[in-house]
Amino acid sequence: MAVQEEPTDDAEEIDLPPLDADEDDIEREGAHEDLIAHLDDDGEPLDDTVAADLDVGADLDDDPVLDEPPGDGSEEDGALDVGALDEGIATGNDESIDDKDEGLDDEDDGIQDPHDDGDDGGTEGTGEPIEDEVDADDLPELDADEDGDYEGEDLLGETLADQVETALPDWDPARWVPREGAGATVPCCAVAVVDGRVVAAGDVVLIVDEGAHAARRASFGSSGGVSIAIAEGAVVVATARGGVLACAPGEPSATPLHGWRPRPCSLELGATTGRLWILADETLWCRTLTHEADARGAVSVGTPHAPGVVRDGRVLAIATDGGLLLALTSGRPSAGPGGAGVGFAIERLRGDDEGWQSVSLEGEALRAAASEGVRLAATAGGKAAAIAARNLVCISRDAGSTFRSVPLPGILAIAFAGETVDADLLAVVARESDDMASLVRVPCVGEPTRLAAIAPAGPPGTDGLGSAAIAWDGARELCWIACRAGLLAFGRARKH
């Protein structure tokens, strides 16, 4: 540590101008020359010990050296005019003391007074709460895209709705079990049951004869089918290419239906007493069936005329029950104010002598009918009917006058388990998040319950059961399910 030397009497006092000197005070004759001369003296110029004997607090303004400025202040006298210290500085009124500098723009010609009450754009901050200056409605959401669009509320609403829709019913106290040895493990998508005879269509056509449980392959070649019906004992199959094949009992193989020209469209088949119904892209066709026997006694199905159009368009789904045809139609004016919009109705036909009877749909039944891929089921001569959307089924027990709405997740197929008006409704449901599809029972009175679990075929990520179908077999007290896992049969557990 350096030892500080005691100041000597030879130390020369340094005269400095005051910090708040004005323009006249700072230009004193010889003031800067005395300072420079002192720095040239022997010794350390940066040693602060030379100023130890200064009289702190002395009034430097009384120094006679700085009282009388020599000369006229010109450059010849050795003085330098630096100008006013506040030259070019903007005042609080946005006016410049000296506006002679042409190198500055109007916007950059000075510094704004910090005491000014005007808005400084946030440079010096603000005394008001910043939240008062920001309107949250003008800001995009955190998850918005580049254009600022955000559908968070809609997405949240859909998510909450999906959580409600995907809730499965509780298990039924009396679960149903699969019937061992029944059906076949061949992928199917359509099934029909008439008088104990079961037929299914898919990659191949399967038949379960009356009194049997195991399925056998029918003589329909390798074309397979997308829809199937039993019409007057004949098995009729609609193919994926828009063709219709029929195979009457006793015939060795199926043949194309007389008068039907294959067309690229979706097909759905139904059969009532003496009639075959074909729904092709919302157009309803009908063909009357007769039994013809040849000389050898073989029975075939045929008529001298081709299928004819019954309803040209706007038929969404059909269901049959004995001699009754039920059709879900659209396009009529709705029953709302002024008849605006498109209405939906259930129309039934028992025979040519009665004609069509129509009942308009409202409320939840209307919403289900307007959904894509709607399904229809009927029993008890049409007094009991059900309309199923993807996550909702509406059931009527009074020929469509009123409906009961039941939410179910992922409805694939529906059918009534009986021929009475109070028969239970059975539904095959499948959620994408589940490994197992379910067989659900909706009673006439009470809440729905799960009867059985159905294992879908295929690896994870596939569409599970695919296009499923269900039909009730009153002779065996079983429900038959056609799906990707095969032709399956479920019923109550047998008592031993």
Q: What is the pLDDT of residues 409-437, one digit of tens each?
A: 999 999 999 999 999 999 999 887 777 89
Domain that holds residue 65: 11-49+57-71
Task: Tell me whether strands 384-388 and 392-396 are parallel, antiparallel or unpaired.
Answer: antiparallel
How many structural domains does the chain have? 2
Q: Is the pLDDT of residue 39 over 70?
A: no
DSSP string, 251-273: -SS-EEPTTPPP-SS-EEEEEET
High-pLDDT (> 70) share of the chain, %:
58
Note the pLDDT of residue 253.
87
CA count, 13 A, side-chain hemisphere, 55: 4
Q: For residue range 63-118, what is the model confidence (pLDDT) as tens digits? A: 444 444 545 544 444 455 555 555 555 554 444 444 444 444 444 444 455 455 55
Looking at the fold, whether 66 and 180 belong to one and the same domain comes out as: no
Mark residue 246 as left, alpha or beta (left: phi above 0; alpha: psi -120 to 50; beta: remaining). Answer: beta
Q: Mean pLDDT, the chain, as a whole number?
A: 75
Whether residue 105 is contained in a domain is answered as no
Kindly report which listed range (100-104, 136-140, 258-262, 307-311) carries the lowest average pLDDT score: 100-104
Decide if 452 is inside a domain.
Answer: yes
The pLDDT, as a whole number, for residue 200 is 97
Task: HSE, CB side, 13 Å, CA atoms: give it for residue 21.
Answer: 17
Q: Which residue has the higher pLDDT, 452 or 136?
A: 452
What is the CATH classification number for the domain harbouring 268? 2.130.10.10
- The pLDDT tens digits for 300-345 are 554 456 899 999 999 999 999 989 999 999 975 444 444 444 689 9
Q: Tokens 């500085």 label which residue?
A: 89
Other beta carbons less than 10 A from residue 187's beta carbon: 21
Same domain, 201 and 66: no
Tell me the two tokens of residue 455.
């294992």
Does any domain span residue 241? yes
Model's pTM, two decimal places?
0.65
Tell me, yes or no, whether 141 lies in a domain: no
Task: Clarify whether residues 180 and 44 are in a common domain.
Answer: no
Residue 266: inside a domain, yes or no? yes
Task: Say what the pLDDT of residue 330 is.
Answer: 93
Q: How far apart are CA 120 and CA 217, in angstroms?
A: 88
**Is 356 within the bounds of a domain?**
yes
Q: Is the pLDDT of residue 159 over 90?
A: no
Please give the order of strands across the beta sheet that includes 342-349.
315-321, 324-333, 342-349, 356-360
Q: Grade residue 256 by pLDDT with cuts at 50, 70 and 90.
A: very high
| pLDDT at residue 415, as a whole number | 98
Residue type at 295? A
* Residues 73 and 79: beta-carbon distance below 8 Å: yes
3-state secondary structure of 92: coil
Contacts of 39 (CB under 8 A, 6+ apart): 45
CB atoms within 10 A of CB 26: 17
Of the two residues 195 and 97, the one the predictor is more confident about is 195
Q: Which of 38-52, 202-216, 220-234, 420-434 has the lowest mean pLDDT?
A: 38-52
| pLDDT band at 455; cut points 50, 70, 90 | confident
Are 87 and 97 in contact by the 8 Å Cβ rule? The answer is yes
